[in-house]
Amino acid sequence: MKILILNGPNLNILGNRDKNHYGIKSLDEINAELENHAQKYKVELLFFQSNHEGELIDFLQKESKHADGVLINPGALTHYGYSLRDALVDTDLPIVEVHLSNIKKREEFRKTDVLDGIVIKRIMGLKEKGYIIGLEKLVEHIRKTS
**Could you give the residue numbers annotated as active site?**
22, 99
Phi-psi region of 83 (alpha: psi -120 to 50; beta: other; left: phi over 0): alpha
> Shortest gap between Cβ of 144 and ligand DQA (angstroms)?
27
Cα 74 → chain centroid: 6
Question: Judged by CB, which is closer to ligand DQA: 33, or 44?
Answer: 33
> Shortest gap between Cβ of 78 and ligand DQA (angstroms)?
6
Separation of alpha carbons 132 and 128, rounded Å: 7
Site of interaction with ligand DQA (CB under 6 A): 10, 73, 75-76, 78, 99-101, 103, 110
Question: Judged by CB, which is closer to ligand DQA: 75, or 94?
Answer: 75
Question: Judged by CB, which is closer to ligand DQA: 75, or 134?
Answer: 75
> Shortest gap between Cβ of 8 and ligand DQA (angstroms)?
7
